[in-house]
Amino acid sequence: MKSHTEYLWFNTAKRVDFVNITHQVEEAVEKSGVKDGLVLVNPMHITAAVYVNDAESGLIDDFKELLEKLAPAGKNYHHHHTGEDNADAHLKRTLQGHQVTMAITNGKLDLGPWEQIYYAEFDGMRKKRVLVKIIGE
């Protein structure tokens, strides 16, 4: 069994920002030398998500609006009694589905025609990591 571990760093210019990381995951898969296996893509911070969907800016706005409707910023959340102000980011990342595991087949990410891997930042403007863990053979 082979394994490969990589940490991608992000520091988005906006508080909420969605970044297509498909190519970075593909590069990690190539470096791993794994032909058949799994790749876990997991944000190591709890106010960001990794999800799979379309690379279309209108749809990304639809995601942001839905999440803002369900878990709006600026409410008097319990979490804010600790001095924090980002409870909405914790809730949004959870609704968005926080992590993905994808397949590697014949040495490549085994993606459908429109599957793209996104990093969804809900409390940005600071350095954060995403773990890419590959196992296989």
DSSP 113: T
Query: Which structure tokens are listed for 119?
Result: 């990093």
Query: Which structure tokens are listed for 10?
Result: 């992000």
Q: Is the alpha carbon torsion for 119, 59, 72, 99 positive or negative? A: negative
Using the minimum distance from each CB to a second copy, give the nearer residue, 33 or 97.
97
CA distance 102 to 86: 29
**CB 92 to a second copy: min, Å:** 10
Using the minimum distance from each CB to a second copy, give the nearer residue, 23 or 105.
105
**CB 13 to a second copy: min, Å:** 21
Using the minimum distance from each CB to a second copy, give the nearer residue, 38 or 125.
38
Residues that bind a second copy (CB under 8 A): 1, 3, 5, 36-38, 40, 42-46, 51-54, 56-59, 61-63, 65-66, 70-71, 77-82, 84, 87, 90-91, 94-103, 105, 110-115, 129, 131, 133, 135-137
DSSP 45: S
Query: Which structure tokens are listed for 5?
Result: 């571990």
Query: Which structure tokens are listed for 84?
Result: 């924090």
Query: Which structure tokens are listed for 30?
Result: 């190539």
Using the minimum distance from each CB to a second copy, give the nearer residue, 23 or 127.
127
Using the minimum distance from each CB to a second copy, give the nearer residue, 27 or 137.
137
By CB neighbour count within 10 A (0-12 exposed, 13-18 middle, 19+ buried), where does 24 fall?
middle
**CB 72 to a second copy: min, Å:** 11
**CB 67 to a second copy: min, Å:** 10
